[in-house]
Structure 1
Amino acid sequence: MSKQKAAFFLMTIPAMVLFFIFHTYPALQGIFYSFTNWKGYGDWDFVGFKNYMNVFKDDRVLHAYLFTFKFAIISTILVNIISLLLAMGLNAKIKFKKTLRAIYFMPNILSILIVGYIFNFIFSQLIPTIAEKLGIDSLTTNILGDQDLAWIGIVIVAVWQAVAFNTILYLAGLVTIPADLYEAANIDGANIWKRFWHITFPMIAPFFTINMVLAMKNFLMVFDQIMAMTGGGPGQATESIALLIYRGGFEGGEFAYQSANAVIYFIVIVVVSVIQIRFLQRREVEM
């Protein structure tokens, strides 16, 4: 074996071992326990597909799936619209462009939990206090305590923080577009809307695909924002699948049952991501 290959193995094997210990093995262990009745402690017995069958009969799981998908779809759409508009603005010839890029990226480096707790205070204390002094009655109540409005507060925070990363990706795509195309379009008399649909959007289609898939995947796994802002409440109004799995598995003695739920959800996320990629890549070819 050459020194180059030996160095390669010395660098990769430790990483692979750590990855297996802290990622692959726990995942396989979770799949194994999903076929048992283990509560996270004590003895257990095999129950076959009983846990999987019960997941599909659980109304609480169904509600969590509906909320999670509603949250993920709305947040994904908003994030991509806002981040694309910001990227186009930051890509234009404006002053302090680099400074603005750094400012817009700052939310991405902040802890999700800390941001969630800060916005919890803003929604529950700051906004109602200011609204009361200004006489704006519609904002004097905490929306996080309203079963019908709490999800909106979570969407606002999640979108605000996720926009930063998506904007950077769109900026990376916009800088690859040759300026000659826009100059030719201007000569032909194309307006801003036509330049966007016939030049900008087709040229950044691969970046749009990446952003859509990553945003949808991340929002489907939403946990930190909900934990910090509402804890899944009021009641179970904002309980996501990830939060339900955590609570049921580690707090409710449903380790095996929630392991089955996690396996199903993993499959759902993979299927959704594959469908997104197939559909969006087909649109790239058509463009």
Structure 2
Amino acid sequence: MNKRLMPYYLMTVPAVILFFVFLTLPALQGVYYSFTNWNGFGDNFDFIGFKNYANLFKDSNVGNAYWFTFKFAVVVTILINIFSLLIAMGLNAKIKARNFFRGIYFLPNILSVLIVGYIFNYLFSNVFTIWGQNLGIEWLSTNILGSEQHAWIGIVVVAVWQGIAYNTILYLAGLQTIPHTLYEASNLDGANRWQEFWRITFPLIAPFFTINMVLAMKNSLMVFDQIVALTNGGPGRATQSISHLIYTGGFEGGEFAYQSANSVIYFILIATISIVQIRFLQRREGEM
């Protein structure tokens, strides 16, 4: 080994140790407990093989949580990328106080998810309902978070509002890499704005689109804080995500081993979806 590189390798040792102790080791312990019937406390448990995994496919609560999570993730991922791209294109234009507006749009990203969730909980419960009553708007007069059919829409609104910030910054970075001479040449050729977008803008920011799609989908699949702050999985179990089910069942419901198995499957699904997304979108990049 090159002696000159030794100090750099040694500098990574503390980070590797911390990563292993606080991330890798707990994950391995979770996999180990998923093959047992441990309830989360005490030392008495037995190995039961794949029984927990088999029972997951028979559990209606697990099925409902997966359906809600995937529905939520797809809608949020699409909306975040549409709005963030539109905002980024607007901020990339030659407008006054452009840097000020960039800071304003990035502000939601630095706020705590729980704090934002509790603020919107108050807005949905008190402010918006009063506005609806005063304006005579029936659908706005009731708290949307109390409806089994529509509570998930309120969570989508909060997740999209806060998720747009980070994606907008990434799209801005991508838009700034496009030479203006390309747009000048397209104007000389008579191309309209729509043609410029599909033939110049979108192909050149395709790598940023890939990153944003993967990150937005991954974050949406792992939704937890918004659920806790807005509905806590209710009404009933209408808005219970997979993460929320794993937490409540594992730490409050005495299903530690059972939800450990659920978390293993959950991890495999998220990793698989992310890999498929990356490969598909990167293939699309090459075709553009």
Q: Distance in 1 between matches of 2:140 and 2:70?
A: 27
Q: CA deviation at 1:2?
A: 6.9
Indicate yes or no: 2:198 matched with 1:197.
yes
Q: Distance in 2 between matches of 1:274 and 1:16?
A: 24
Q: CA deviation at 1:161?
A: 0.2
Q: CA deviation at 1:14?
A: 0.7
The residue aligned with 1:154 is 155
Q: Distance in 2 between matches of 1:2 and 1:218?
A: 40
Q: Distance in 1 between matches of 2:135 and 2:25?
A: 56
How many matched pairs?
287
The residue aligned with 2:14 is 14
Q: Distance in 1 between matches of 2:4 and 2:56?
A: 51
In the alignment, structure 2 segments of 5+ residues that lack a partner are none
- Classify the secondary structure of the residue corresponding to 1:272: helix
- Classify the secondary structure of the residue corresponding to 2:35: coil
Q: CA deviation at 1:278?
A: 1.1
The residue aligned with 2:142 is 141
The residue aligned with 1:163 is 164
The residue aligned with 1:185 is 186
C-alpha distance after superposition, 1:103-127 (max 9, x if no partner): 0000000000000000000001111
Q: CA deviation at 1:3?
A: 6.4
Q: Distance in 1 between matches of 2:168 and 2:145?
A: 28
Q: CA deviation at 1:9?
A: 3.2
C-alpha distance after superposition, 1:121-150 (max 9, x if no partner): 000111111221222222110000000110
C-alpha distance after superposition, 1:79-98 (max 9, x if no partner): 00000000000000000000
Identity %, equivalent residues:
69
C-alpha distance after superposition, 1:132-177 (max 9, x if no partner): 1222222110000000110000000000000000000000100000
Q: Kindly report structure 1 stretches of 4+ aligned residues shifted beyond 3 Å.
A: 1-6
The residue aligned with 1:24 is 24
Q: CA deviation at 1:5?
A: 3.3
The residue aligned with 1:234 is 235
The residue aligned with 1:129 is 130
Q: Distance in 1 between matches of 2:4 and 2:122?
A: 55
Q: Distance in 2 between matches of 1:228 and 1:124?
A: 12
Indicate yes or no: 2:251 matched with 1:250.
yes
Q: Distance in 2 between matches of 1:210 and 1:77?
A: 13
Amino acid at match of 1:146: S
TM-score (norm. length: structure 2): 0.98
Q: Distance in 2 between matches of 1:143 and 1:136?
A: 13
Q: Distance in 1 between matches of 2:211 and 2:187?
A: 29
- Classify the secondary structure of the residue corresponding to 1:137: coil
- Classify the secondary structure of the residue corresponding to 2:264: helix
- Classify the secondary structure of the residue corresponding to 2:232: coil
TM-score (norm. length: structure 1): 0.98
Spell out the pairing of 1:6-85 with structure 2 (5 A cutoff): 6-42=6-42, 43-85=44-86
RMSD of aligned Cα (Å): 1.0
The residue aligned with 2:276 is 275
Q: CA deviation at 1:52?
A: 0.4
- Classify the secondary structure of the residue corresponding to 1:139: coil
Amino acid at match of 2:25: Y
The residue aligned with 2:215 is 214
- Classify the secondary structure of the residue corresponding to 1:44: coil
Q: Distance in 1 between matches of 2:210 and 2:234?
A: 33
- Classify the secondary structure of the residue corresponding to 2:283: helix
In the alignment, structure 1 segments of 5+ residues that lack a partner are none
Q: In terms of mean alpha carbon deviation, does 7-16 or 38-47 score higher?
A: 7-16
Q: Distance in 1 between matches of 2:85 and 2:29?
A: 41
Q: Distance in 2 between matches of 1:272 and 1:46?
A: 30
